[in-house]
Structure 1
Amino acid sequence: MAHWERVVVPPDFAGITRAERQGGSYLRYHPDRLADVANDLEAEVLEHAAEVSTALARLGGRLRADPLPILYSTLIRSESISSSWIEGIRETPRAVAIAQIDHDTASHAAGQIVRNVTAMREAIDLLGSGAWAHEHVTRIHQDLLPWHRPGYRSGQVWVGGSHQLNAEYAAPPADTVPAYLDDLIAYANRSGDLPVVQAAVIHAQFETIHPFDDGNGRVGRALVHGVLARSGLVDGGVVPLSTALRNDERGYVDALTAYRYDGADRKPALSRYVAHFLAALEIATSTAERFVDAATAVHTKWRAAVAGVRTDSSLHRAVDLVVENPVISARFLADELAVSAVSAQTLVKQLVAAGIVKPATGQYRRSAVYQADDILALLAFGSEAGARSPAPLLGRAPAVRSTLVHRCGAPTTQGKCRNRVPEPGLRCWRHPG
């Protein structure tokens, strides 16, 4: 049965804090094993779960019907930025984009967020189909924090405070973690609960167990997306759940605290927590719908901008690369697309002429890098949007746009010559005059 255990800590005369030198006691929590309890919810919470499930299914159907790369990549990155923000790891979307192409100049926080993107993708790939296993969970954690010792923690952990004696929450002892994770994974693989309820329970139980020394919040939120992907509700992207949670961090913490009931009072405690989780998921789903509208507008605008160029050309591949990397350099294009430095410079000029990128501003204005403001605006919206935030208006093409491909235009018996020339007004080799 779930209970709080009082743990006595003897004085540490070499301790850093007064509390450590004095000693004392603290409470640590032992949650119920999920195999031993039922996830009974109050009627109105069950109704809400059904409504949120319907909204998610509608969003998932939309993502499957039009699986644009711009949707998947930007949704995952904006969710990763927000999930990191909750843990106090904060950077701008542009700084994160810089970290993707140049690890040496990236800030520590931006580098951590890039690893969170990798962990999020890994979570969806590993957990989004088939049965879960311990190695899936530990691998996601290693992607996030590769310098940590692989596996679960070996000592006591807590949340808040400098020591367990003044912590807001102390997790169960380390020697219970493997059994608790056995139980959680078994629940993930065999539960018949609604996927949104299952995702809520897995997240709360994981955060309560706190199986790692660090990174528990980010891994725990990634597990939610694994549940939703495997269920088929949302398998073409993610919903910006962390953004909704970030905008009400106190409510999020209070809801997790409510989940940690004492004794047999599971139903009211679980109902309170799941109700808050569903409210956040509902906001995230609504935000995702607006996000899809804005991202689709960008996709349409960009495709129109390069419509005169062959679809198998390097320019189209460069546009796809910008979707994944909204800050680029000519050197980066050359390396990723396997083209010469001269060709890469030409591609940059074409992307600028199409209104897809522009020279970087602010602290990067003296660097030879270019930024895609449309994608950066999408990332900012996805990682910061509130329940009523309007999506950015990104579908408007530039009023004046340079022609990307110049043709000879000399009159022939078949009409105007369509041979390419490097600059307007020039003639091709067939019509030198």
Structure 2
Amino acid sequence: MQSLQYIWQLRGWPRLSFDEGHLAEEVALARRAQGLVEGKLAALGFQERQDLSAEAWAQDALATAAIEGEQLDLLAVRSSIAQRLGASAFKGPAAPRHVDGLLSIMDDAVVKASEPLTHERLQAWQAALFPTGFSGMRPVRTGAYRTQAMQIVSGPMGKETVHYEGPAASEVPAQMEKFLDWFNASREDSLAKAALSHVWFETIHPMDDGNGRVGRNIVDLCLARDAGETSRLVRISQRLLDQREAYYNELGRAQHGGLDVTPWMVWFVRQVRIAWDAAGAVLDTSLEKARFWAAHAGAPLNARQAKAVNALLDQGPGGFEGGISTRKYVSLTSTSRPTASRELTELNALGVLKQAGAGRSTRYYINLPGWLPQQQ
């Protein structure tokens, strides 16, 4: 099958098209989900918002790397983000240079979202991903467009299946010039622009390596132009990782189809909407946690009790898959079994936790409506 690239070559690179009517409903739903998140966020304090933003950023960094088959150290990612946000209290292992590079380009896309997208900026993003000039043992051309042919293949050597072949390397600079001219001049809705720019960039596949991460960073930039730093809460790479097979299939269909990319656009904007919905669910938990602590502000909890309650709150309804037992409390707080039993009984008496069962089956749950087992 011919890719979009070859169709563009034959037709003098006309603009991709999409049916705005079919896309409008998904855009409206995504905007509604975004508005709900922004409303909920206003009810949280600065530190809570920053903590949520940092964790979402960390998880999305892990996800965009995982899509490419790379596993990052979560603690190292969190540590680097904490330093960037000025939260020096968080201590973790130092992040490797390529991890710092990934976080730097993600930060650049958000903080400098309003700045033009240029050849130099894209090339700097890609170079930051490969600070040693290698991807594993393979040398990578960095800070420049590729100079060799590009194929996406799978299968054993000698029996490879070619899934996609990009344009000739000699054509990449001119094609990227057209892409950037459109990107910087376009006044299309940011969600439509994110979807369209992603399929366009990935079809050109201009870099020797790192195209997926750079392409998703362009998406982050589009979302940040619309939602500012609130866009950090939208874990779009996490959503794409969760739907990795569908992501590749939809992208492949768009690349091998005609110039009408409406199905891809609708699918992609739907993923953004679902990511906003997920961000809203995280905020709901944070708001409930804040209200819970406000209701129990005067409770005389020690550090161990507060730690256990926070851990249960973080787990959500039915925390720890069956509440917290004396044994789990001992493991969590590193205290003795008698102390654990006494402190859990105190939390129950204070109304912070609610006991379920008896004897060896005794469990404790957060005392909130809907957080107790069904039979309770």
TM-score bracket relative to the smaller structure: 0.5 to 0.7
TM normalised by structure 1 equals 0.57
Match of 1:124 among 110, 119, 141: 110
For 1:56, the aligned partner's letter is: Q
> CA distance change for structure 1 residues 59 and 163 in 2, over 3 Å: closer, same or farther?
farther
| Deviations, residues 2-39 of structure 1 (Å, cap 9, x unaligned) | 9559xxxxxxxxxxxxxxxxxxxxxx856569973253
Counterpart CA distance in 2 for 1:245 and 1:34 is 32
Report the alpha carbon displacement of residue 211 of structure 1 after superposing the two structures with TM: 1.6
For 2:127, the aligned partner's letter is: Q
Report the alpha carbon displacement of residue 156 of structure 1 after superposing the two structures with TM: 1.8
> CA distance change for structure 1 residues 44 and 83 in 2, over 3 Å: closer, same or farther?
same
Q: Which moved more, 1:245-254 or 1:93-102?
A: 93-102
RMSD: 4.3
Number of residue-to-residue matches in the alignment:
301
1:262-411 aligned at under 5 Å gives the runs 265-267=258-260, 270-296=261-287, 355=306
1:17-416 aligned at under 5 Å gives the runs 29=6, 31=8, 36-41=14-19, 43-63=21-41, 66=44, 68-91=49-72, 93-94=74-75, 96-97=77-78, 113=99, 115-126=101-112, 128-148=113-133, 149-161=142-154, 166-232=161-227, 235=230, 237-261=232-256, 265-267=258-260, 270-296=261-287, 355=306
Report the alpha carbon displacement of residue 290 of structure 1 after superposing the two structures with TM: 0.9
Report the alpha carbon displacement of residue 393 of structure 1 after superposing the two structures with TM: 6.2
Equivalent position SS for 2:232? coil
Counterpart CA distance in 1 for 2:259 and 2:317 is 39
For 2:117, the aligned partner's letter is: W
Report the alpha carbon displacement of residue 115 of structure 1 after superposing the two structures with TM: 4.0
Which structure: larger Rg? 1
For 2:103, the aligned partner's letter is: V
Report the alpha carbon displacement of residue 296 of structure 1 after superposing the two structures with TM: 4.6
> CA distance change for structure 1 residues 52 and 183 in 2, over 3 Å: closer, same or farther?
same
**Residue ranges of structure 1 left out of the alignment (5+ in a row):** 6-27, 308-350, 358-371, 379-389, 402-433
Counterpart CA distance in 1 for 2:36 and 2:79 is 34
Percentage of identical aligned residues: 22
| Deviations, residues 199-237 of structure 1 (Å, cap 9, x unaligned) | 001111111111212221112112111101112376452
For 1:216, the aligned partner's letter is: N
Counterpart CA distance in 2 for 1:102 and 1:234 is 24
| Deviations, residues 60-95 of structure 1 (Å, cap 9, x unaligned) | 454467452112211111111111121111356346
**Residue ranges of structure 2 left out of the alignment (5+ in a row):** 82-90, 134-141, 325-342, 348-376
Counterpart CA distance in 2 for 1:275 and 1:228 is 16
Counterpart CA distance in 1 for 2:234 and 2:12 is 26
Counterpart CA distance in 1 for 2:175 and 2:114 is 22
Counterpart CA distance in 2 for 1:137 and 1:178 is 12
Report the alpha carbon displacement of residue 147 of structure 1 after superposing the two structures with TM: 2.2
For 1:75, the aligned partner's letter is: A
Q: Which moved more, 1:283-292 or 1:159-168?
A: 159-168
